[in-house]
Structure 1
Amino acid sequence: MFATLAQPFPLGATLCDHGCNFSLHNPDNKNIKLVLFNDNQSPRLISLDNQYGDIRYTFVEGIAEGQVYGYQLEDKDGLRLLLDPYAQALNATPHYVEPFTAEQSWEFAKSVVVKHDFDWQGTTLPQIPREETLLLETHVKGFTKRHPEIDPALRGTYLGLCQPEMIAFFKEHGITTLQLLPVTSCMSEPHLLKMNKVNFWGYNSLCFMAPEPRYALHDAVTEMKTMVRELHRHGIEVIMDIVFNHTAEGGEGGPIFHFKRLDKHYYLQDGNKHYRNYTGCGNTVDLTYQPSLNIVLDTLRHWVTYYKIDGFRFDLASTLGREGDRFNTNSAFFKAVAQDPVLKQIKLIAEPWDVGPDGYQLGGFPRGWNECNDKYRDTVKSYWLCKENNTKEFATRIMGSRDLFSAGKWPDKLPVNFISYHDGFTLQDLVSYNQKHNHANGENNRDGHGDNRSYNHGMEGKTTNFAVLYRRERQKRNLMATLLFSFGMPHILAVDLLSHTQGGNNNAYCQDNAISWADWAINKDHDEFRHWLATLIAARKEIMVPFIRAFSGPKRGNHRISWKRSDGHVMNGEDWQKIEAFALFLGLRKDGAEMMFLINHSTIPTRFRLPAGERWRIVCDTSEGTHTTRQVQTTYMQSAQSMTILYRDECQTETRT
């Protein structure tokens, strides 16, 4: 009777009232067997008697949620146990002692049968418009591990991230969307295991559909869903950073977990059948191969359907459109997502590069994809911290990088602007270090990016020098004011809200310790910065969002924009080559609200002449550590190396410029 219940699709382990269907894409191993593990009993071996193409499958009566399983095959070193690539949970945190042998595979983490019943308690998706979205890049463990007000048992967990203290913090700072560093199951690289370290960031995928067990007290599936539900209850979206460009199996000689033995064609190979390493991690997933494309699409639908995930940030996303040595914006993956009734409704954010040929693709992703804008990062840091006179490039970036992302396609093609990311210096370290200090990583400071575009303001690292500290805080305000009032979707690194320092480590991927864990014991200056930033984020929502909407789409030409010298005259071509103090004027319609950016890159104060009319409200002046309620009318003295944002709404203005 139960043989009739056996089906080739869906792949993985699928429960019903009578038992469980097990299905596996496996063209290379005829004698593979399903292994069921039960407490205090010998493993039960079951043949996969049914076949459909390259899929082998069977139905097993009486299987329930929580059943532990794997797949056995004959290896040159003996019998090896493989994970199910479609495993939706693991029974333990993956770990092994180098080298990963066939014998060790039986002691490794195993696949678990999952039933996705969960009470969502009527919560709904926040569905934040892109122009209102404020991304906070957050590590589930790192952000709460040292939080003094959270139950110690919950710190560093999925449940810790949705405690009332954290919800209040996110709401206070106007955060609309958490972008979580990878929460899919991960395996640390062999070189880290040899040094007794872990891949803290999680960019080394093991099973795409299984939540990372490290962040759970008991049940990662239920606890991650609870986290999403509680964040949604308070209107906060959850975006997953997900890694499909490579897997933890690495390149030649790397460990075997599943794909390598089930089907060698999952990965890009050269003519000699060697793995092409276009990711810097040993292998590259080949999305032109149907089974690879299938598991990626099935994984995305899995997270959206069962976990209510609001979107994804794709690591090294050029790989998704890679056809061998070339990138194709019309690749099968992009077309499949665009027509998928589930996936086309969510946020899709690309890191638009990998390390292979034709890999840098900023601006090259299809409509509906937002892209991490590294040109914005480099330009803004160079302008404020490296004293580069790149005014024209700076102006282009704050206006939404329209050389790369046409405003006619906004808001769905708004760039994702950022100053700091998980890889690179934190905001505090950007203004405190000239050089990277990655010695704790065990690679003799050779790892990590050398092009940081940072400035220590006279002293490397920690200092009590008041003048240095003042300059650092001012530059932090310059960077964040620029970010929040540029056209785009701002991305903030969560620990930057706390002015967290990593001691100059710009590649803390293996630091599961105080280097990476957010420091909540902040000093007076950093607490002032936190409150200043929260106020500015609120001002962005009030003021900047309507301007982004207005300057997007077909009616963007109905509004006013001009670039002016400090004397009030419009800038000419020569000004763009040498000017150090200039203003950006923006106006809605013929007589709507207006904004001005007064930007002084020079080392001396500069007086700006303002357009005639009613008083301007000072949104922020980055030379000041607190916000003001002052208003100005005809001129404004801008301090050296700082900027001010002015605003007046339409009901205040009588005369227009």
Structure 2
Amino acid sequence: MNTHQAFPFPLGATLTNTGCNFAVHHDSAFPLSLIIFKEDGSYTEHSFTEEYGTIKYTHLTGIKEGAVYGFKIIKNEEDLLLLDPYAKALKNIPNYQVPYTAKQSWSLAQAIVVNDNFDWQSTTMPIIPRSETILLETHVKGFTLLNPNIDENVRGTYLGLVDPATIAHIKEQGITSIQLLPIAACMHEPHLLEMGMVNYWGYNSLSFMAPDPRYAISDAVTELKTAIRELHKNNIEVILDVVYNHTAEGGNGGCTFNLKGLDQDYYLHHNGNYTNYTGCGNTLDITHQPSLNLVMDTLRYWVEHYHIDGFRFDLAATLGREYDQFNPNNAFFKAIAQDPILKNTKLIAEPWDIGPNGYQVGEFPDGWNECSDKYRDTTKSFWRGEQNYLKSIATRLMGSRDLVSASRWPHKLPVNYVSYHDGFTLQDLVSYKNRHNHANGENNRDGHGDNRSDNYGVEGPTDNPRIIALREKQKRNMMTTLLFSFGIPHLLAADACSHTQQGNNNAYCQDSEISWVNWNLDPTAQEFKIWLSDMIHARQKHIVPIINAFSGSKRSHQKVEWYTPDGRTMTHNDWHGAKSLCLHLNIYDGEKELLIMINQSNIPTRFVLPKLTKQANWSLVCDTQYSKVKPKPIVFDYSLSPLSIAVFCNK
């Protein structure tokens, strides 16, 4: 041991030329020591020789890459092994038999010393502009496990994401950025373990910077880096869904995996109890310096050593909390904004939590794009046929400027979506009126009750051709609205395959065919997959230039006009009770023009096409009455079928 080589930062295990440095924040009354495991399972115990404030650290010579370690505390007269909060890799797949015991901790909390070197083969990060970004939310395992075109050896793994068949699908669909459900190591909730189930989605963080070994063949670190490198080679970004609002340790009486044993102040407390603003038992306190450091250090690690392009923050309002209040100018947001590594990444907020003042849509600082539940609810309600949503759908089409001014675009473009991991898939939105979550083991009480869905006559699957045709049309209506709205479109990977979760709108614990994407497509599903791909490419060609022109200081030079079907400019009275309208977007006096017609009524509606600014012809981009994208010229007027949307551009 050579104490003169020891250093307090960075925290965690850091290899040196002669060994390894170990550093940890420790501010609890429990005595702390370092455990180094031998290959035969025995171990040696070491004291921390140095202190720097609350940082305990030491340097051990001879420790090499692959060494296994943990931190021991004595709690309730038992030796409990803690997982390093800065662990870069886990020795074992996280699991335990309820109740969690000190004995089990000695297997669960083993971390691996990692060498951060990796051959990135000169790849660079894609840096896709926000206006061109198409987000595809997916689960590492569920996206590839059942795809017969993928090498069987890599299905359901990190490497399955970059199998040639997966890459081909992503590029064919026109996806620019895949948003992975949490891949930081997750621990399953006790009630799931008791039922023999898992937290499939991964929203229960055990370690913030160790990739979950569940999705690796043998080496999660190398395999994940390889996957990201290959995606970057194909100009595809990787966005990580991260969970910094709570951890898997739960609330009062919960397990002690690491933070509880090192410093109780990692978490918010009220009157000695864990504050539960997340619905998961505890809430991380980002006003506490070690907590803020942990979040910032691990975010930087993902970017520096995994080349991650951005992050989607689960329950992000928690990160802006100063106890019961949300502050968009708090230390976390300021730290991100000034950080030379993080400020260039994409930052996506789920802008709420369940605590007081927890709904903060539109309140995040510049540089943050926010998921818009208002867009989701409006789009579903409008196409389901609910009345008095015409003004609202118009607002959402134009980028929800009631929430964020276009002067703050593109860096504040909303993230628009219809379906997400939580809730119905697109197929289920048009197939079920009610949730069917019985497989979750909670008597169908879990999951959202406000689905704004319909089955159009039959609950679930049907052979009725009329119902199938209407369901497919409604899927096209919602996707066309999504792709031709101002914002960043967020798509659910399962939707391209018309995947059904059998009416389950909360499949967080379903590591089963309920969640795994079904790649066995019937002709109707195959037709929709091709249509969606064509529409994504049409968006990039037609609406992206419009979004760019309407962003920032250039927006004042552009024109927006709303028309009634007979070609009149919409008046205040026209908005009340109307079921049809036409949106005309014009940049630079006719350099590019776009027309969007919407008919929510149950009868065909004839629209008069407005005159183009410059001599040209309107050309139909798509009409959701049809299952194929069929561009064709249109001159004077157009009859739009009931419950349809059509898009036109100038030639």
Give the structure 1 partner of residue 194 of structure 2. Answer: 194
CA distance in 1 between partners of 2:313 and 2:306 (Å): 18
- Counterpart contact for 2:173–2:533, Cα < 8 Å: yes
Q: Quick one: distance in 1 between partners of 2:505 and 2:553?
A: 41
Counterparts of 1:280-359 in structure 2, within 5 Å, are 280-359=279-358
Q: Deviations over 1:378-427 (max 9, x none)?
A: 00100001433311111000100001111001000000000000000000
Letter paired with 2:409: W
Contact 2:30 2:75 in 1 (8 A): no
Equivalence for 2:617: 615
Give the match for residue 652 of structure 1. none
Contact 1:29 1:73 in 2 (8 A): no
Q: How far off is 1:302 after superposition? A: 0.3
Match of 2:579 in 1: 580
Is the 8 Å Cα contact of residues 93 and 109 (structure 1) preserved in structure 2?
Answer: no
**CA-CA distance at 1:161 after TM superposition:** 0.6
Deviation at residue 330 of structure 1 after TM alignment: 0.3
Q: What is the letter of the counterpart of residue 473 of structure 1?
A: E
Match of 1:407 in 2: 406
Letter in 1 for 2:602: T
Matched, 1:237 2:237: yes
Deviation of residue 30 (structure 1)? 5.8
Deviations, residues 156-197 of structure 1 (Å, cap 9, x unaligned): 000001111111111101100000000000000000000000
**Could you tell me which residue of structure 1 aligns to residue 520 of structure 2?**
521
Q: Tell me the secondary structure at the aligned position of residue 107 of structure 1.
A: helix
Contact kept in structure 1, 2:621 and 2:632, CA below 8 Å: no
Shift of residue 313 of structure 1? Answer: 0.2
How far is 1:154 from its partner?
0.5
Contact 1:77 1:101 in 2 (8 A): no
Instruction: Give the equivalent residue in structure 2 for 1:104.
Output: 104
Distance 1:67 1:15 in 2: 10
- Structure-1 residue corresponding to 2:376: 377
Scaled by the length of structure 2, what TM-score is found?
A: 0.99
Q: What are the equivalent positions in structure 2 for 1:585-604 lying under 5 Å apart?
A: 585-604=584-603
Could you say which residue in structure 1 is the equivalent of 2:649?
647
| AA in 2 matched with 1:16 | T
The answer for the alignment partner of 2:174 in structure 1 is 174
Instruction: Report the aligned-residue RMSD.
Output: 0.9
- 2:142 aligned residue: 142
Q: CA deviation at 1:615?
A: 2.4
Tell me which amino acid in the other structure corresponds to 1:311: G
**Partner residue of 2:501?**
502
Does structure 2 retain, via aligned residues, the 8 Å contact 1:77–1:102? no
Give the superposition deviation at 1:27.
Answer: 1.3
The yes-or-no answer on 1:114 pairing with 2:114 is: yes
Deviation at 1:630, TM superposition (A): 2.0
User: What secondary structure does 2:273 align onto?
Assistant: coil
- Cα distance in 1 for partners of 2:243, 2:113 equals 23
Map 1:84-99 → 2, pairs under 5 A: 84-99=84-99
Q: Which runs of 4+ in 1 moved over 6 A?
A: none
CA contact (8 A) 1:95 1:109 kept: no
Q: Which residue of 2 aligns with 1:131?
A: 131
SS of 2:7's equivalent? coil
Q: Does the 8 Å CA contact 1:131/1:489 hold for their aligned counterparts?
A: yes
2:151 paired residue number: 151
Residues 427 and 495, structure 2, Cα contact 8 Å, conserved in 1: yes
Please name the residue that 1:57 is paired with: 57
Check whether the contact 2:416–2:487 (CA below 8 A) recurs between aligned residues.
Answer: yes
CA apart distance, 1:29: 3.9
What is the CA distance between 1:22 and its match in structure 2?
A: 0.4
Please give the alpha-carbon distance, in whole angstroms, between the structure 2 residues aligned to 1:178 and 1:561. 32
Q: Paired residue for 1:488?
A: 487
Aligned residue number for residue 655 of structure 1:
none
Distance 1:375 1:555 in 2: 26
Q: Quick one: distance in 2 between partners of 1:93 and 1:630?
A: 56
Query: Retained in 1: the 8 A contact 2:3–2:49?
Result: no
How far off its partner does 1:149 sit?
Answer: 1.1
1:6 is matched with 6
Q: How many residues align?
A: 648
Aligned equivalents of 2:137, 2:470: Cα separation in 1: 26
* Cα distance between partner residues in 2 of 1:112 and 1:320: 29
> Once the 2 structures are TM-superposed, how far is the Cα of residue 559 of structure 1 from its aligned partner?
1.1
Q: Deviations over 1:227-250 (max 9, x none)?
A: 000000000000000000000001
The answer on whether the counterparts of 1:316 and 1:350 sit within 8 Å (CA) in structure 2 is yes
Cα offset for 1:616?
1.3
Cα distance in 2 for residues equivalent to 1:376 and 1:568: 27
Q: Secondary structure at the match of 1:527?
A: helix
Tell me the secondary structure at the aligned position of residue 527 of structure 2.
Answer: helix
Q: Please give the alpha-carbon distance, in whole angstroms, between the structure 2 residues aligned to 1:383 and 1:73.
A: 57
Structure 2 residue identity aligned to 1:233: K
Report sequence identity in percent: 58
How far, CA to CA, are the matches of 1:555 and 1:107 in structure 2?
59
Deviations 1:346-377 (A, max 9, x none): 10000000000011000000001000011000
Distance 2:167 2:122 in 1: 19
Q: Residue in 1 aligned with 2:18?
A: 18
The aligned amino acid for 2:222 is: T
Contact kept? 2:320, 2:326, Cα under 8 Å: yes
Aligned to 1:636: 638
- What 5-or-longer segments of structure 1 have no aligned partner? 650-657
Q: How does 1:410-429 map to 2 (within 5 A)?
A: 410-429=409-428
Shift of 1:560: 1.4
- Measured at CA, do residues 41 and 440 of structure 1 come closer, stay the same or move farther in structure 2, by a change above 3 Å? closer
TM-score by length of 1: 0.98
SS in 2 for 1:627: coil
Cα offset for 1:42?
2.3
Q: Distance in 1 between matches of 2:592 and 2:386?
A: 32
- Over 3 Å counting, the alpha-carbon distance change for 1:77 and 1:476 in structure 2 is farther
Measured in 2, the distance between the counterparts of 1:6 and 1:631 equals: 73
Q: Distance in 1 between matches of 2:448 and 2:126?
A: 36
Query: In the alignment, is the contact (CA less than 8 A) between 1:73 and 1:79 conserved in 2?
Result: yes
Q: Which residue of 1 aligns with 2:27?
A: 27
Cα distance in 2 for partners of 1:616, 1:591 equals 12
Provide the rounded CA distance (Å) in 1 between the counterparts of 2:599 and 2:388. 11
Is contact 2:385–2:600 with CA below 8 Å preserved after alignment? no
Please list the CA deviations of residues 429-479 of structure 1 after superposition, one character each: whole Å capped at 9, or x if unmatched.
000000000000000000000000001111100000000000000000000
Rounded to whole Å, the distance in 1 between the matches of 2:156 and 2:233 is 21
Structure 1 match to 2:389: 390
SS at match of 2:361: coil
The answer on whether the counterparts of 1:437 and 1:503 sit within 8 Å (CA) in structure 2 is yes
CA–CA separation in structure 2 for the residues paired with 1:591 and 1:282: 56
Aligned partner of residue 509 in structure 1, secondary structure: helix
Counterpart code for 2:70: G
